[in-house]
Amino acid sequence: MATDRTATPPGTGWAGNRRGVAVVAALMLGAFAFNTTENLPIGVLKLMSEDMDVSLAAVGLLVSGYGLTVAVVSVPIAQLTRSVPRRLVLCLLLAGLFLASVVAAVVSSYWVLLVCRLVTAVAQALFWAVMGPVAVGLFPPHVRGRVIGALSVGGSAALVLGVPGGTWLGQHTSWQVPFLVVGALAIPPLVLILTALPSTPPEESHAVRGVAPDTRRFAVVLAVTGLTVTGVFAGYTYISKFLVDESGFTESRVSTLLLVLGVTGIVSVTVYGRLLDRFPRATLTIPVTTQAVGLLGLYAAGGSKTVAVIMMVLLGASLGPVFMATQSQVMHFAPGRTETAIAANGAAFNTGVAAGALAGGLLLPVIGVRGTFLVGGLMTVAALVLLLEEQFLSVGRTKAWSDAPRTAPADEDVYSER
């Protein structure tokens, strides 16, 4: 029997669905734990290098190798597990995060740590792929954007609270303690999901397929993700050097500015998340625009401390909402299963992080740190042009479709009106 993809799921709405809210809270904490784990070595880089007697570059590989693993395995593992009940999948992934974190902290070996990181990276790739459809499927379709927005807050908070908190804890104890703490954070969401999430086949959820499948629009969204992330990380990877050498800030002020950027990111994700359902196009176009302005503004006038602070705020208000909005749109336009679509978007994101950092590193000795922001800004402008072109073409196609004689009713694409 065919599945009714538009049927209202359990619960009468966001506020009236206690089980759904509990699952979303669990997934937010899980996203926080995974994202903190991914970037944790950055804050305790020197401690790990000295304790395990390896180079800083070798410890850096624990971060870059993690991101590349997520990029490579996201789509294949999502397809491989598409028929497995999501409660089982999520519980196994969180248990994997817990065990890998404990082993990484207890066994003082670089190679054991590297294997644990790769295992965790595979778990994170699948976690991000399935958590969106799982959470969305527990609520009516009209609050889909709010659900995606809530999940994004958990991931964004990792950079503002998780990594700085782990760094402080590591500096006052040892680098192993933050790993143990992050591993422990996987237990509460595991218990919540085990008790609150129904064990049903993924096919029974209305969120398993895209609302308006469109291969061309889906490809455009993936391209926007890749271009914007590559662009921002081409410059952002070297933001500390820029703020000291070009803007004239002290090292202590740089850490404060990065905190402001992170807090701005959480606030903007929260605000945009509440608008995703009403303004799906604007909630992607606007942050892409502000990102372009922020990067180009730093290049053109970043020597002014006032301008630099304003441009930093614009950057903070851009990257998180861009990724959140693309997550929402790939679910909407997914030509196949939504978890595969989200996995593809995650792969584009992680590839962009690696490509941006690599491009910035190669360009740095040639065009200087300011030049990396120019390149990043131009890449973001290219993403904006691609996005606007797709939107204008979409309006033209919608008008031609509405002017043509109809022989049968057709479902309207809510995105075409916005």
**DSSP secondary structure string for all residues of 43-62:** HTHHHHHHHHT--HHHHHHH
Instruction: Give me 233's structure tokens.
Output: 């990380």
State the Cα–Cα distance between residues 406 and 410, nearest whole angstrom: 9
Q: What is the pLDDT of residues 208-226, one digit of tens each?
A: 787 888 999 999 999 999 9
Supply the pLDDT for residue 406. Answer: 44
Lowest mean pLDDT among 175-179, 189-193, 248-252, 285-289: 248-252
Supply the pLDDT for residue 14. Answer: 56
Whether the CB-CB separation of 384 and 289 falls below 8 Å is answered with yes
Lowest mean pLDDT among 199-213, 231-245, 270-284, 285-299: 199-213
Supply the pLDDT for residue 379. Answer: 96
Whether the CB-CB separation of 238 and 369 falls below 8 Å is answered with yes
Please report, for residues 32, 74, 100, 149, the alpha-carbon distance to residue 121 in angstroms, rounded to integers and kept in the order given. Answer: 14, 9, 10, 23
Concatenating the DSSP letter of every residue in 287-321 gives: HHHHHHHHHHHHHHHTTSHHHHHHHHHHHHTTHHH
DSSP 209: B
Supply the pLDDT for residue 204. Answer: 60
Supply the pLDDT for residue 358. Answer: 83
Domains 18-204 and 215-397 share a fold: yes
Comparing 286 with 4, which gets the higher pLDDT? 286
CA angle 285, 152, 28 (to 5 degrees): 170
Q: Report the share of the chain in percent with pLDDT over 70.
A: 89
What are residue 337's phi and psi, to 5 degrees? Answer: -70, 140
Pick the CATH number of 18-204 from 3.40.50.300, 1.10.357.10, 1.20.1250.20, 1.10.3720.10: 1.20.1250.20
At 97, the amino acid letter reads L
Instruction: Give me 236's structure tokens.
Output: 């952002």
Q: What is the pLDDT of residues 316-362, one digit of tens each?
A: 899 889 999 999 899 889 898 888 999 999 899 989 888 888 888 88
Whether the CB-CB separation of 169 and 161 falls below 8 Å is answered with no
Comparing 269 with 3, which gets the higher pLDDT? 269
At 83, the amino acid letter reads S
Whether the CB-CB separation of 234 and 376 falls below 8 Å is answered with yes
CA angle 267, 371, 255 (to 5 degrees): 40
Supply the pLDDT for residue 16. Answer: 63
Confidence band for 395, pLDDT divided at 50, 70 and 90: low
Confidence check: pLDDT of 63 > 50: yes
Taken as a whole, the chain contains a residue count of 418
Torsion of CA 350, 353, 359, 365, to 10 degrees: -150
Closest CA to 27 of 126, 99, 105, 116: 126
Q: What is the pLDDT of residues 85-95, one digit of tens each?
A: 889 999 999 99
Confidence band for 149, pLDDT divided at 50, 70 and 90: confident
Q: Which residue has the tokens 């614009």?
A: 314
Confidence check: pLDDT of 137 > 50: yes
State the Cα–Cα distance between residues 56 and 19, nearest whole angstrom: 45
Lowest mean pLDDT among 21-25, 43-47, 136-140, 186-190: 43-47
Closest CA to 132 of 273, 315, 279, 18: 273
Q: Where are the domains of the chain?
A: 18-204, 215-397
Confidence check: pLDDT of 366 > 50: yes
The CATH homologous superfamily for domain 215-397 is: MFS general substrate transporter like domains (1.20.1250.20)
Q: Which residue has the tokens 């593809």?
A: 344
Supply the pLDDT for residue 255. Answer: 77
Confidence band for 167, pLDDT divided at 50, 70 and 90: confident
Supply the pLDDT for residue 112. Answer: 94
